[in-house]
Structure 1
Amino acid sequence: MTLPAQGKFAFANQLRGLAVLLVVIAHYSGTYWGARELVSMFIFAPPAEGPASIVGQYIMPPTVNYGAFGVAIFFLISGFVIPFSLEKLGARRFLVARLLRIYPTYWVASAAVLFVVWLSSKYWGQAFHIETGRLIANMLLVHIETGQMTTDLVNWTLAIEVKFYLVAMLLWPLIRRRPVLVIIGFALLMLVYFRCVPKAWNVVPMGTLQVALTSTNTQLLFLPFLFIGTLFHLELTKKISPKVLAGSAIVVLLIFLAMWKRTPWYAQAASSAMNYSYALALFSLCYVLRSRFRANRVLDFFADVSYPLYIVHSLIGYTAIRFLMANGMSFVPAALLAFSAAVAVAYLIHRTVELPTAALGKRLGRRHIASILPAATEDVKVGA
């Protein structure tokens, strides 16, 4: 989502640009080397050869995971801006506008990713195969619920965003009346649910559909964290005081961290939870200093293309790096060229798909009552 380059929303826009760059760095310098077998399976190429690049050791401080850090920033921004659309559009128009934001861009970006992966399979002489059920589930962002493997390694966050849209839409009438009570109550309800669900429950049949409960629970973990961004929105619009914002945000964060320990992710990446705290600290600092933010060409550009770039950067980047290094190029120039290619694809999708569907969403809003905020917020664009 992009926000005005200057004014009270510039901080969120530029944080979005920073977030997508952090995720790219984490995936290219970390995941590409640290998960070679996984990457090779998704790009239909032999695993990367040789020792891992030492670049990641120099640019990633201890205890900092740029991927988790960047995703956490995305989530806080979504929680912060979604209420603007809810107020402006109402529930039905909001849902239609959100679906227009997420799905058309995701489908086209996924097509570009799969085309590049198909080219990789041809180059390396491997059979390209993605089952129809898996493809459909991913395109609808219900792959986690149906137990299907992802097709791009990054769409798990989009599935969480869609769930947050639905929950925020349902809770918004209550949040407007009792904001802190409802948000903390929802977080506590999630915590109780996590503590009460038997660990033996993995797949739950619902008619002909088999719901992967453990994986779905992992998605639900993040919903309270997104609502921390909503608390900042409530302070901005004078629904709560700064002291209430600080106290309630800390409470919800602690509940979120307690929930994290109840998921499989804790054993795999316990330190990642720390990066959500880092992200909240950075977001809070930028929010306090929001009046000092001015236009920044680099961060504003990456904010504009952040959604399609987030989708295409991983597999297109991995494919390009693998190909270039196999043909004699060292890692750093290969990664830079791969990043440039991903940015070019993302910009093309942004111009041809994302902007037109965003304009369609805006037309829905113009037929509704004016927003509770000044017209400067008309340009708010909400995305992943």
Structure 2
Amino acid sequence: MNNNLNRIPELESLRGIAALSVMLYHYTSFFRASLHYNFSSIFDFQFGHHGVELFFMISGFVIFMSLDRINSVRQFVYKRFLRLYPTYWICLLITLIVMLFDNTAQFDFSLKDKVFNILMFQGFFHVKNIDGSYWSLLPELCFYAMMIFFWRLKIIKDIFLVVLVWLVLMYVVLLRPSLIDVLLNLKFGVFFIIGIMFNLLYKNKKQLYPHIFILLALVSVLFVRDSVEVFCFTSLFVLVFYLLIYQKLSFLNNRIFIFFGEISYPLYLLHQTIGYILIYNLIRYGMPHFASIVLIAIFCIGLSFLVYKYLEQPIINKLR
């Protein structure tokens, strides 16, 4: 989810907003459910988890755009590796260190769990994620693999046919789930498809087919995700993307929003398990829940900035 969006700062800002939304959701309603806490729901951010769907749409937009700028499969794979793995390993190590001080009894992982998490393949083998937020990395990896596969076969130019077949497969697998569901991203592919279509519109607003496929994908959300709530939020995100391509989101092009976009990947990877452990202990020692949320949110934002500024960027620049 950590892609170079410097040419479209509004997308960078949307990514930051998505990360903040997920963090606030985890620190409020999801925290209470996970650790069985009985505190007021007045500050709950119960719909924040839909930020992940926004992440997927942004990835669809950006990864499809990146295919225009590569010369080989090796180049694509190396660039994706640089964007995902160094920061992931840094954040995983920090999380494991903080877990040494865990007293919530919620984070008990075997050596096997930790090894598979290092590879980022845990989702393929139903191994527990060290941090719950890691679950979304598997759909991202599968999407990357699909796109470079289509690019290598030179059928990416027939993207409308590819997407049509993809949508049909989503409905077929609803009748008989299988491993192909994971490999072909049949649960979350609708969000990546919407992002791809908006990238096409961004390049050429006069096209008709992207509008049709956005509508098809949006309707498919109701069936593939089987959730009116997800459909409603996806519709909202579609509206946001239309505003983006018609240049109506210029207010997002400011330093504050872009800052959160820049740190969004380490923030997404660091906030959940570390946040739970720290918030739990602050509440345990008498700090009000809301105050503990604010304090730990600030802490995780600061930690994410340090990772981004002094580890992620220098490492990526050196390896590039």
TM-score (ref. length: structure 1): 0.75
Match of 2:31 in 1: 32
Count of aligned residue pairs for this structure pair:
315
Q: Is the alpha carbon distance of 1:294 and 1:22 closer, same or farther for their aligned partners in structure 2, counting shifts above 3 Å?
A: closer
CA deviation vs aligned residue, 1:10-64 (integer Å, no higher than 9, x gap): 2211111111111111111110112225xxxxxxxxxx4x4334211xx66xxxx
8 Å contact from structure 2 (residues 202, 245) kept in 1:
no
Match of 2:193 in 1: 227
Q: Is the alpha carbon distance of 1:291 and 1:52 closer, same or farther for their aligned partners in structure 2, counting shifts above 3 Å?
A: closer
8 Å contact from structure 2 (residues 181, 187) kept in 1:
no
8 Å contact from structure 2 (residues 170, 187) kept in 1:
yes
Q: Report the alpha carbon displacement of residue 256 of structure 1 after superposing the two structures with TM.
A: 3.7
Q: Report the alpha carbon displacement of residue 113 of structure 1 after superposing the two structures with TM.
A: 1.1
Q: Is 1:104 the counterpart of 2:106 in the alignment?
A: no
Q: Is 1:78 the counterpart of 2:67 in the alignment?
A: no
Q: Is 1:67 the counterpart of 2:49 in the alignment?
A: yes
Structure with greater contact order relative to length (CA < 8 Å, sep ≥ 6): 1
8 Å contact from structure 1 (residues 160, 219) kept in 2:
yes
Distance 1:295 1:232 in 2: 19
CA deviation vs aligned residue, 1:52-110 (integer Å, no higher than 9, x gap): 34211xx66xxxx2212x11111111111112322212322011110121111111101
- Higher gyration radius (CA): 1
Match of 1:296 in 2: 254
The letter for the 1-side match of 2:39 is P
Match of 2:42 in 1: 54
- 5 Å-filtered alignment, 1:103-252, equals 103-121=85-103, 129-172=108-151, 173-176=154-157, 178-197=158-177, 213=179, 216=182, 220-238=186-204, 241-252=206-217
The letter for the 2-side match of 1:236 is Y
8 Å contact from structure 1 (residues 187, 256) kept in 2:
no
Distance 1:82 1:360 in 2: 22
Match of 1:259 in 2: 224
Tell me the SS of whatever aligns to 2:302. helix
Q: Is the alpha carbon distance of 1:128 and 1:185 closer, same or farther for their aligned partners in structure 2, counting shifts above 3 Å?
A: closer
The letter for the 2-side match of 1:182 is V
The letter for the 2-side match of 1:32 is F
8 Å contact from structure 2 (residues 194, 217) kept in 1:
yes
CA deviation vs aligned residue, 1:245-278 (integer Å, no higher than 9, x gap): 22111112223432223xxxx6xxx633432332
Q: Is the alpha carbon distance of 1:147 and 1:274 closer, same or farther for their aligned partners in structure 2, counting shifts above 3 Å?
A: same
Distance 2:106 2:43 in 1: 33
Match of 1:356 in 2: 314
Q: Which moved more, 1:99-108 or 1:302-311?
A: 99-108
Q: Is 1:93 the counterpart of 2:72 in the alignment?
A: no
Query: Is there any run of 5+ residues in structure 2 with no aligned partner, and where?
Result: none
TM-score (ref. length: structure 2): 0.89
Determine what percentage of the aligned residue pairs are the same residue: 28
